[in-house]
Structure 1
Amino acid sequence: MPPTGKKIHCPDVLSNLPEDVIDAILMFLPLQDAVQTSILSKKWRYYWCRLQALTLDRSLWKTEKDKEYPTTKLMKHLTLQYCLILPPPDFTGFDRLIRLELYDVTISSKSLESLIGHAKFLEHLALVNAPVLDISDHIQINTPKLRFLDYTSSIRSISLVNVPLLEELCLTSDEPSENSRICDIATFFESCNSLEHLHLSYDNIKVLAEGGVPKRLPFDLTCVKRLCLCIGFDEVDVVLCGLCLIRSFPYLQYLEIEMKYCCVDVPALECLEVEGCSDLTFPHLIEVKLFVIGSIPEMQFIKLLLSKSQVLKRMLIESWIEDIRRIDKRLDELANCWRASPEAEVVFDLNKVPYNNPV
């Protein structure tokens, strides 16, 4: 017998096992038990994160005490990253899901639609770099309680079918989609009656412009207060698409535009001339942030904003051009051009790094 009061130090047999053996043991445990091994020691804290397959079913939240304190009524948040989702054929989604975020997750459009469609309480949805298994697939977002959507893929592969409460929409894409589906700009936004904040990337604006651009949408989205766009001012259709959206947001207060890199000396665009835009006004625009390279159409657009914004308070103009002398003259013209708002302040902040590095 050891002396009274002395601790017995037993060797940590489990922690000394080869890592592939530990992984095999965890794979045979229910997910809840596998996660609980993280409290064994600092060394075991993240072993369960190496599991190559996770089984997400009702056993995770259903307990023996459910008769007295039913956990099946609990709302759920689910975030997955760097994985492949292969649900069983009878998968019907999570009916209590309110927040779903998928980062670099591969999933079929059918499974994704099922996952989203059965989440009747879903309010927050982020699909970031989440490719579907078939690039020709199309996803319908039919979630009546959805308030936030962040989708980083081509706008061709998504439809907003029933989103009456959607407040913030971020649609970004770094590469053109191979999907040949035409996306009609009016049809895409017709169910966004509560939209307040819209962020559109350059590639997705190009997609919207391909189907033909009206002067304005057949309806006004009166809730939109903030608009962020990336536009190439050397492409008329893209510019017209941006103007169409701006015309359709009569209560716009904050506008942020990044000018995609183009030739500095591109010719002027008639659609940006102040004289030809008598129907275009910004009666509620308070603040503007622009990232420019100093092209002629950019200067036209800035003059248009200044001459049509009666309550504008601040316009911040940023640029990453190394040779400031190339645009100094044009910026001097802007500093002295006429402004509809006597309180409008124009601030220049040059040699800035571009938001999305358009070069």
Structure 2
Amino acid sequence: MAIKMDNIDRISDLPSNVIDGILEHLDIQDQVRTSILSTKWRYLWTSVPQLKFDTNFFDSFQYLDNPGPVVVDVITDVIMIHNGPIYKFTLSIPYGDEITMEHLSKWFQILSGRRDIKYLELANFSTAFNQMPDIVFSWKELTDFKFYGFNLSIPPNSCCFKKLVNLYLHCVAFESGALEGLISSCPLLEKLSIQHCDGFEYFDFAAPSLKVLYLDIDQDTKSICLKKAKNLIDLTLVADGGWVSGLIKSLPKIQNLNIHLWFDNKILPIADVIPPMLLKSSFGSIECLKLDGVCLNECRELLYIVSVLKSAPSLVELVIQGYDCIDITPAPDHLEEFECSSCCLNRLQTVDISIKSCPQYAMCLIEFILANSASLETLTFRVGLGPQRVYALVLLGISQDLLLMKRASQRAQVEFLHFGDD
């Protein structure tokens, strides 16, 4: 029986939105290859609203003896031939590539004529240059900007990014006043991430629309003042050891606070990051608190955390990751700071505490939480004490003590987990 052939060109008859979706999910090399599918597809890739020259793109030329000139020509041709709007542009320059400042400036000059780019991502791993081209600051339609590995200075008479909403800065070296000038000229900025950047000692900038802030700093940062970021609700601070006491000078009433402390050998208390005087004024609205790198074997640290909890009546979720420090002093039997006239953590529902050292102080904290959390649903306590067979009696004692602790919430479940080398 003969089979009748179907001569319908189904791939050319696909709806336009389906074709656009296919092209947007392909690498630039595969987008160009679709030009051979049919006459209709020949030039469709030239109107895809995003251009992405990432690691995969550069890796595809590694089979050549000298890929540099070919890569430059391909990028230039693609940008020149593209005839539609470009809403998203990504360029990740690898280490050792032959792209120069002249090439970058040429491409940006062409792209600047489009005036429709909203998302720009630039990563520079090259050693040939490190200065951000000034022409970028004329792209007034940008809403998202990510860049890595550049030196940043604000050109004179620059109006910067009036529509920018999200800004991500990674391994950026700021010239004097550049960071302040950049942030203050972005009135709609809502999300800011600064990681491993140099050139600023004081963070005190006007950011009236800022809602989410991620700061990864080292000892060069002397102070953080967020008084001018009144709408901030989410703060993540990653701090390397060596900062001065009282790092954070002011805080708005935020909802989510994440603090990650990293040390070499010296233990630095979390109270040196956020002074106790800020607790009552700034912690009343906190709903989620995550502390990573605290030393629960220090009485001062433990009492500070208790003060934090007493100052956070809206707290719903608490996560504490203990720092692996030596147990120096015996745990207290009773302290006035652990007393509350009423349940001060009425909204707390989830608690997760992890430690890698002796658990006495952590047990005091858990006892305080269980006794003062009327809405608590789950408390997870993770202890790392080495091989379970060695510390079997210690772990059994912890389990028994947890069962005997008074609970303000009748539905509270306590999960005790051990992790270590078995």
TM-score (norm 2): 0.63
Residue in 2 aligned with 1:15?
70
List per-residue Cα deviations over 1:206-256 (Å, max 9, x = no partner). 364389635x83436443110011321233333333233222211101000
The answer for the alignment partner of 1:84 in structure 2 is: 151
Q: Could you tell me whether the CA contact under 8 Å between 2:296 and 2:322 is conserved in 1?
A: yes
Distance 1:321 1:82, change over 3 A: farther
Instruction: Give 3-state SS (helix, strand or coil) of 1:173's partner.
Output: strand
Aligned with 1:337 (options 405, 417, 421): 405
Q: Distance in 2 between matches of 1:317 and 1:239?
A: 16
- 1:96 corresponds to: 163
Change over 3 Å in CA distance of 1:92–1:207 after alignment to 2: farther
Give the Cα separation in 1 of the matches to 2:408 and 2:354: 22
Distance 1:272 1:102, change over 3 A: farther
Q: What is the DSSP-based 3-state SS (H/G/I as helix, E as strand, rest coil) of the residue aligned with 1:146? A: coil
Residue 229, structure 1, aligned to residue 315, structure 2: no
2:15 aligned partner: none
Equivalent-residue separation in structure 1 for 2:271 and 2:328 (angstroms): 26
1:206 equivalent to 2:269? Answer yes
Residues 298, 328 of structure 2: 8 Å contact kept: no
Segment of structure 1 superposing worse, 338-347 or 218-227: 218-227
The 3 A distance-change label for structure 1 pair 25 and 232 is closer
- Alpha-carbon deviation of 1:297? 0.8
Give the CA deviation at 1:89: 4.9
2:359 equivalent in structure 1:
295
Match of 1:246 in 2: 309
Q: How far does residue 47 in structure 1 lie from its aligned partner after superposition?
A: 12
3-state DSSP of counterpart to 1:142: coil
- Which letter maps to 2:227? V
Alignment of 1:16-31 (within 5 A): 23=100, 26-27=103-104, 29-31=106-108
Name structure 1 gaps, 5 residues minimum.
Answer: 1-11, 37-45, 62-71, 354-359
Larger relative contact order (C-alpha < 8 A, sep ≥ 6)? 1
**One-letter amino acid of the counterpart of residue 200, structure 1:** I
Evaluate the alpha carbon distance shift between residue 262 and residue 279 of structure 1 in structure 2; reply closer, same or farther with a 3 A threshold: farther
Structure 1 residues 20 and 198 mapped into 2: Cα distance closer, same or farther (>3 Å)? closer
Whole-angstrom CA distance in 1 between matches of 2:134 and 2:301: 44
Cα separation, 2, equivalents of 1:59 and 1:275 = 54
Deviation for aligned residue 1:272 = 5.8
Q: CA RMSD in A?
A: 3.8
2:177 maps to 110
**Cα shift readout 1:256-293 (whole Å, capped 9, x = no counterpart):** 01111123474114776786444672111101001023
Q: State the SS of the aligned residue for 1:297.
A: helix
| Cα distance change on mapping 1:239 and 1:280 into 2, 3 Å | farther
TM (norm. structure 1) is 0.73
Stretch of structure 1 that moved more, 47-56 or 151-160:
47-56
Q: Is the 8 A contact 1:76 1:97 kept in 2?
A: yes
Give the 3 Å change call, closer, same or farther, for CA 75–222 of structure 1 in structure 2.
farther
Name the SS for the 2:416 alignment partner: strand
Q: How far apart are residue 332 of structure 1 and its match?
A: 2.8
1:165 aligns with 2:231: yes
Task: Classify 1:306/1:142 alpha carbon distance in 2 versus 1 (closer, same or farther; 3 Å).
Answer: same
CA distance in 1, matches of 2:290, 2:341: 23
Q: Which amino acid aligns with 1:197?
A: N
Aligned residue type for 1:224:
I
Determine whether 1:255 maps to 2:332: no
Task: Determine helix, strand or coil for the equivalent of 1:201.
Answer: strand
1:144 to 201, 208, 213: 208
* Distance 1:237-1:89 versus aligned 2 partners, 3 A rule: farther
For the residues of structure 2 that align with 1:169 and 1:59, how far apart are their CA atoms? 27
Q: Distance in 1 between matches of 2:172 and 2:105?
A: 24
